[in-house]
Structure formats: structure tokens, C-alpha cells
Structure 1
Amino acid sequence: MFSNTPPWPLRLHLIGASIKVNYEPIPPAAPQAHYPLSFAQRRLWVVAQRESSAQPFNGLDVYRLEGILNPAALSSAFMTLLERHESLRTVFVMSGGEPVQRILEVSDTGFSISYEDISDLPDRETQLSRFMQQLQERPFVLSEGPLLRVSLLRQSSTQHMLLLSIHHIISDEWSMQIMVRELLSLYNAYSDGLSSPLSPLRIHYKDYSEWQRNTIGAGQFDTDRKYWLSRLSGDLPVLALIPDHTRPSVPSYRGDQLQFIIESTISSSFRTYLDSRGATLFMGLLTVVKTLLYRYTGQQDLIIGTPVAGREHPDLEDQIGYYLNTLALRSYPSGEDSFNTYLSQIKSVSLEGFAHQGYPFDHLVEELGVGADLSRNPLFDVAIILQNIDVNHGHSLHMHGISVTAEHPELHISKGDLRFQFVEQDGNISGSIEYNTDLYRKERIEDMIQHFSSVMKAVVEDPEIILRKISYTGLIDDQHIQQQYAGFTTDLNTEY
């Protein structure tokens, strides 16, 4: 729902890092009328106040159910989830001039499943697409809730579509995986006349947000804080990639996504090469993307963002809530460096960044004093995501007597300028570029995909090639494209 393929595995193993911490349980917060927001929630709340569009904040998961459905068991399963996870019955109100969390009783949430019978409608698939789009675009009222909406569309006696719409301030993709897994477990138990098979939760999101603020205030993350403030010191680069259209003063989040597949021989050779360098696939893909941006712009200072699960504390693995954190990975390409050299730099940057992932990105943005430019994301315009597990597919989606298939509707949104998304399955690398259609034309992104593939092919053939000599068009001279793409050139006007 947060992208067209679930990024469940945003764990440290994406870059091969292993961080061991001394386990200290997160303590339950003292009972009170309301609780502080986490740093990530606060920034999202602030952005939501100034945005008229619901699109960047609403997620949508869609599942096709084929078989005889037990609606009563499904309803009971959802009500149990609301009782079990306080975040699903949280609203955000003002107290003393500050936004706070308020936990409602289940009976006060107003939650219920919306049932729609579309079996008699002509062109049901078109009607279904329209319904999904309307649900995704319908704004939530943070101060009222509920911030989870569930719709069940009946297509026939044995065919239903289950739609889950949720505001990001109470959920992330990891959370949705937990929700669906527990939902199916509860449904199966209730269909068989059994009680809930789930063990009670020891803590909830409010406990995390209180713990986060207390630990930050006590200086327990000072090492991480000092690392990021040092890493992001000085003049911060703004990507000098000229868009096809004038950048709006306020982002609309209108977007699209183009898919691509890397040739299997290149995928295999690239993987073998990375293994020989002691680098992970994430490191390699990040280096290729940054090399392409360098070749476009000539900039010798680049920042790309990547999301992490934000659940390095063991107590958070089974929680539903907005835990997602972001790393701003800064590196310094040089035209005289070989790809091997630049990969080594990216490897170090990645390992260091993930080793210091505990510090909240949103708090870091405030401390750096960036984010005043409302037309773009703070710190970076380009993000990269590697997804290598898809847990909500196949045998993991099991409902008694029902075949469950996860659908991935096209939502036509983009949360930033450019998002490079990759997945590895059976040794093959595929990907997509999510792009802001207010900035870029489809043809430009199609070219970008070809250029990315050309860079990967070039470095597989010769990892010692220096960056300024990597051709992304397959031509000897790429400068005619560079002049169109770059806002300035500092390292490109070198004789080939």
C-alpha cells in the first residue's frame, strides 16, 4: 500500500549490517488522558495540516477473496484487532497548543465495515477501480477518526474484494503485514468457533512514543545524533536535475510508475561482482543510481534517502503503528574515481548510516533547520528501496475455504520527485521508478530506465572504469543529454 510491492523486509539485512543492542524493555507509559506524538508522527501531522490532498497520507491494500465468506467472523476479527492495537483507535487532538494522541474505546471509534453489493453493476471491474480511487482519495479527519476504513465489495456469492484504507500516521507497511496476518488468523479461528489465538500485547504505540522522547531527552541516542549532524554538516546539496516541467510551489503528489526488468545475465553478473567486493545488492544498486545521477549532473555531493523499518528494538516487531524511519545517505562521487572505488565509499556510507539508524529522521530535519522549501522533501529528492521478501502472497495468505490474492491497484501518486524501487526474486533484479508527473514526462523516465541499465552493464563489463567515462546512452559522448538534464556541470566537461 505504501508502494506497489510491499516493502516488508526493511531490516538491517538489506545491507548486511548487524547491530546488537543490550535489551531493555520499553516500559508502559503511565495512564493519562493523552500522550505525545512520536517525532515521525508530529512531522506527518504538521504536513497534513497544510495539505489539501489526502493522497500522500492514505494507504490502500486490496485483496480478492474467492470462496464462501463468513461476514460475521470477518467483522469480529476486525473488532478484535481494534481492541488489540490501540493505534487503530487513536485520534489526534490539540492540548495546550500541541497535537497529542488520544486513545478511544472501541465503542467510541465509530468503526464498522462498509458493505457494497456491486454484483448487478455493469462493467464491475471499472466500477471497482473507481471505488478504490475514491476510497484512496477520501480524506481522514485526524481529530475524529476512525483512521482505518474497511470496505467489502460483493461481486457474487463467492467473490468479494476487501479494501483496507488507513492513514499513515497510525501505520506503515510492516504494520499492514501484521494486521493482515493477524486478521486472517482471527478469521480462521472465529470461523471454526474458536477464541482468539493471539497472545496479549505488552506495550502499545503510545508507550513507544513516550519512550522515544524520554530516551532522546536523556541523550541515549547522542552517538547517532552526532554522527548525522556531522555527516550532514555544511552546505547541503540540492539535486541539479532539470525537470521537464516547472516545479510547483507546493507538491501535488501526482505520480506514476514504470516497471522494468534487468537482463538475467546482467543481474547474475552484477550479483557475482558485488559478492567479490563484499558488498550487498543494496549497496550496489545505490552506487549505480548515484553514478547515474552524477553522470546527469556532474555533482560531486549527492544525498539519496532510503526508508528503514525503525523497529530495531525487539519490543516493536509485533506492533502496529508509524515506526518508519529514513536515512539520508550522502556520498561524494568524483569523475576520476573508478566504480570500484565509489562502491567502496557507498559501502562505508551505508554501513555507517544503518549503524546509526536509531536517531529519528524527522527530529534530525528540525535540528538541521531544513525543510523550509515546501516544494520538495527535505534533504533529498531521490529515494531508493530494495524489497526482497513478499510475505503477503502465496501460501501465507490463508483463509478457511477462501482463496486470497493481493491486488496492487495503480494509485497514480508519488511521495517525492523520484523513487527507485527494486526487488530480487530467484536471482533476477526487477524494479520500477515512481515519479512525480508534475515534474517529469513518461518519456524521460523511460530514458532513465535505459540509462540505468546501461550504467549497470558498463560496470559489470569493467568495474575499474572511471565514473566520467561511463556512458549511459551507449554513445561515446553523452554531453548533449547532460546539457538537457543538469542544472549545472562541475565535473562533466572533461575530454573523453
Structure 2
Amino acid sequence: MKNSDRAHFKLTHPQKRIWYIDKINTNSPLHNIGGCLSIYEDIDIEVMKETINLTIKSNEGLRLRVSEKENEPFQYVKDFEAENIDFLDFSNHENPQNEKEEWSNELFKRCFNLEDNKLYYFAIYKISEKEYGILLNIHHIISDGWSITLIQKQICDIYRKLMNKEYVYTKNYSYLDFIKDEEEYLNSERFIKNKSFWEDKFLDVPDEFLYKTSNSLEGKRQCFDIDEELSNKIKRFADDKKCSLNTFFITVLLIYINKVTYRNDLVIGTPVFNRTNRDQKNMIGMFTSTVPFRFKLDIGVKIKDLIKLVNRELKLSFLNQKYPYDLLIKDLKLSKDGYDSLFKMCINYYNSKYDSDINGIDVEVNEYYCGNQSYSLQITVKEWKENNITLNFDYKTLEYSDNEIKPANKSQYF
């Protein structure tokens, strides 16, 4: 089918912000996300190739492609065609793991061409007779972190069924349905109420935190695993104060910003799930939106009361989270002063649970960092490794040094 004959759809607002940033930074892998699924046993390569093809076939979100008409972005679904999935054998190298890491890191630094091109890449690799893996590199405009979890679960489930000669039923939850849902929201009373909430929240804008995303993109990541003892202390503290880990770490970041800037009127970013029904929770696509969380910190308040106040403000913000962040930026006319963000720092809480086996075989998921980022500093809080807490600090190298991020000793975590 010719491109001109296909049904074209507008980008959703979560996608529009990705598209806008990519148009400014055309030679950046900023929006490459994904990672590797390590499989600790021999696998059937041909069955795994069939598994990946079935995953692509059953998810229209993966087959979305972006095109432009009169300088406006649109998207369409590419008809499914079976792909010859790449297989790379590193087992004959002197150091297979190093070879695989170099290959993976190089892949994640390559830029996708947004215009009428496939926006994902699957490959199967071999480290040894007892270790294989699947790599997925995918553009953020067609996927978020939750989608990657869905893809991993589908691959595990389909491969198991194929190996056991079971019937494979894959229901298609189409991202196109979300496009319709968003259109309904944009013409609803809820939209008007949400818009009013954010206009009141940012009636005046704290200049200190305004930011231009494209001011340098080169970044680094430092990862810190909080040990079991400290992780449990943090969880007990959060339970005692009746707050989530998300609230806990947002409060910690607010205190930190107050200490280094001496400001009380603070703004940080926090991504939100933005999936409001069961079908959306099963769709592969870009849903994640951003909440600019504004909080006026009173340094005289006790910590337990501060957490309550943060909790209350977060709840109000989350109730109004559907209002698109890109529209708020337009409403506030930030671009006339050269800005495109209300905050410099972002905190992202992950509690996605990956499947830990595939047909009884142990698996492990490892994410990759593309080396570019939008915000000055993003802290990702993960709770999925043996119930311990992991913190990833992604920071722009022109704005932070390695020593500023790395604690001198364990006691400096908090």
C-alpha cells in the first residue's frame, strides 16, 4: 500500500513533545530507549525469531511510522511483513561479554530517522552455550518504559507457548484507540478543569527553574545500589509516614534543591503513567506524560508534616495529570523567552516488574542509556532488583561533574 493511501493520524500530545525535541536535535540518540533480555540457557533461535515476529505483528504500536505533511507530523500503521531478525554470535570472541557490550552501546548511540522509517530494532545474540539474549532499541515516540515491559512479557509468553506447541493467541490493543480517547478528552469538561488547575498553579512562574532542553544533551549515568539494610530502613520510614517511595524521594530532592539554591518556591518534573483504563495498560505506545510539580517548602516544618504536604500536593497534581505538558508550555508562552521546560531536574519512579523466567529459564533485564538527555539531572528510582532500591543519576556533563554526583561514602546517600 502506498504511503498516500494509508490512514494518517495526528500525533498524541506525549508524542508531540518527543517529535518537537527530535526536530531540534536531529543528530542525537536522545530518545533511544530499551535494553537487553539476558536468557541463561540454550534457546531455539528460529523459534525466537518467530516469537519476535509475532510480537511485531500483534502490536500496531510497534509498526507506527511518522511522516510530515506541510510541516505537520502524522503517523500511520505499516502493514506487517515478516522480518529476518539479526542473530549475532559473540561466543567465539576472547571476551564475549565485552564484545556484546561494545556492540550494544554503539547501537544505542545511533539515531533513528523519524521520517517514514521503522522505529525499533530487535536482535538475538549468543554469549555462550548457556547464555543468549534479545536486544531491543526503540524510539521513545512509539514506546515508553511500560511498553518495554509489555514487549518483554509477550516475548516470554509467546516463546514458551511455541516451544510447548500451545496455541498462541495475541490480542491487538491498538494505540490508535488512545488517539481517539485523547481527542475525546481534549473536548471534555475535564480538560477545561485540568487546564484551569495548571493555569492557577503557574499564574506566576519561578524563573530560577526555567530551562531550555537543547542546551547541551551529552550526559552520563551513575548507578547506585542501595543495600538491603538501608533499602528496608527507607521502606519502613515510608510505611510509617504513610507515603510511597515516590513521595519519599521527591521530598528528598526538594530538600536538596532548597539546600543548594536557597529557594523555597521549587519546581521539579515527574513522569506520570497516563494510562487510564485496562485496554491502555495493555497497549504498546508512548503514553507517559510529565507533571511539573511546584511546591513551596517551609524549612520550619517537621519532616512528617512536610511529607504530608508533599503527598497532598502530589495527589492534586496527579488528579490533573492528563492535561498535556506541551500545551501548558504553550499556554505559558515560554518559547518567547527561549525556554521549553518549567524545570531542570526530574525524578522518575519505576516499579515495573519484569518476568524472571522464560519457559522455566532464568532471565534478566538490563536497560541501556543512550548518553544523551533532556534534563539537567534525572534521578530514576527503581525497586525491582531483589527488593532493593537502585538509584540512577543521569546528568548533563556540562552542568555536573562526576564528583558532584558520586557520594564519597555510603552515609552521603541521604
Whether TM-score is above 0.5 comes out as yes
Match of 2:406 in 1: 446
For 2:348, the aligned partner's letter is: I
1:283 is matched with 247
Q: Which residue of 2 aligns with 1:397?
A: 356
Equivalent residue number for residue 309 of structure 2? 345
- DSSP-derived class of the 1:126 partner: helix
- Distance in 1 between residues matched to 2:380 and 2:279, nearest whole Å: 28
1:291-370 aligned at under 5 Å gives the runs 291-370=255-334
1:130 aligns with 2:130: no
Residue 382 of structure 1: CA displacement?
0.9
For residue 289 of structure 1, report the CA deviation from its aligned partner.
1.5
- Report the more deviating stretch, 362-371 or 141-150: 362-371
Corresponding residue of 1:62 = 36
- State which of 167, 178, 194 in structure 2 corresponds to 1:195: 167
- Deviations along 1:415-452, one digit per CA (max 9) or x if unpaired, are 42112233457886553422222211111113598796
Note the alpha carbon deviations across 1:38-76, whole angstroms, 9 max, x for none.
Answer: 011112112111213442111131122233322222122
What is the percent sequence identity of the aligned residues? 20
Match of 1:121 among 85, 93, 101: 93
Q: Aligned partners of 1:271 and 1:119: how far apart in 2?
A: 41
**CA shift for structure 1 position 236:** 2.8
What is the deviation of 1:35? 0.8
Query: 8 Å contact 1:264–1:429 — kept in the other structure?
Result: no
Question: When the two structures are aligned, how many residues end up with a matched partner?
Answer: 409
Work out the CA distance in 2 between the residues paired with 1:424 and 1:116.
32
Over alpha carbons, which structure has the higher Rg? 1
Residue pair 1:154, 1:161 contacting (<8 A) in 2 also: yes
Q: Deviations over 1:71-92 (max 9, x none)?
A: 2221222222222111111110
Mapped partners of 2:231, 2:111: distance in 1: 44
- From 221, 242, 261, the equivalent of 1:256 is 221
Flag the structure with higher strand content: 2
Kindly report which structure 2 residues correspond to 1:32-51, keeping only aligned pairs within 5 A, or say none: 33-51=7-25
Q: Does 1:74 align with 2:44?
A: no
Q: Deviations over 1:459-487 (max 9, x none)?
A: xxxxxxxxxxxxxxxxxxxxxxxxxxxxx
Please say if 1:173 is aligned against 2:145.
Answer: yes
Correspondence list, 1:3-42, <5 A: 33-42=7-16
SS of the residue aligned with 1:189? helix
Partners of 2:186 and 2:239 in 1: how far apart? 37
Residue 60 of structure 1 contacts residue 166 of structure 1 at CA under 8 Å; is this kept in 2?
A: yes
Instruction: Indicate the SS of the match to 2:162.
Output: helix
TM superposition shift of 1:210 = 3.0
Distance in 1 (alpha carbons) for counterparts of 2:232 and 2:254: 18
Q: What are the Cα deviations for residues 358-401 of structure 1, in whole angstroms up to 9, with x where unaligned?
A: 22222222222225677x760111111233x3521xxx233236
Distance change in 2, residues 1:432/1:33 (3 Å): closer
Paired amino acid for 2:72: E
The residue identity in structure 2 corresponding to 1:135 is: L
Consecutive unaligned residues of structure 1, counting only runs of 5 or more, are 1-30, 242-246, 455-496
Tell me the CA shift for residue 277 of structure 1.
4.3
1:135–1:125 Cα change, 3 Å: same
Seen in structure 2, the aligned counterparts of structure 1 residues 391 and 336 have a Cα distance that, compared at 3 Å, is closer
Separation in 2, partners of 1:451, 1:288: 15
TM-score by length of 2: 0.88
| Partner deviation per Cα, 1:124-175 (whole Å, 9 max, x = no partner) | 2222111001110121122232211011223344432311111111101110
What CA distance in whole angstroms lies between the structure 1 residues aligned with 2:115 and 2:100? 29
Cα distance, 1:352 vs. partner?
0.6
Say if 1:257 and 1:412, in contact at 8 Å, map to a contact too. Answer: no
Please say if 1:386 is aligned against 2:349.
Answer: yes
- Residue by residue over 1:179-228, the C-alpha shift from the partner in whole angstroms, topping out at 9 and shown as x without a partner, is 11111111122223333133x23x51122123312320344422222111
Deviation at 1:33, TM superposition (A): 1.7
* Aligned position for 1:28: none
- Are the equivalent residues in 2 in contact too, given 1:274–1:280 (CA < 8 A)? yes
* Residues 266-281 of structure 1 aligned to structure 2 (within 5 Å): 268=233, 271-281=235-245
**8 Å Cα contact 1:68/1:401 also seen in 2:** no
In the alignment, is the contact (CA less than 8 A) between 1:240 and 1:299 conserved in 2? Answer: no
**1:275 Cα deviation (Å)?**
4.3
Q: Distance in 1 between matches of 2:408 and 2:301?
A: 23
Taking the aligned partners of 1:403 and 1:277, their CA distance within structure 2 comes to 36
The separation in 2 between residues aligned to 1:196 and 1:44, in whole angstroms, is: 34
Pair 1:153–1:173, CA change in 2 (3 A): same
Amino acid at match of 1:379: L
**8 Å Cα contact 2:290/2:325 also seen in 1:** yes
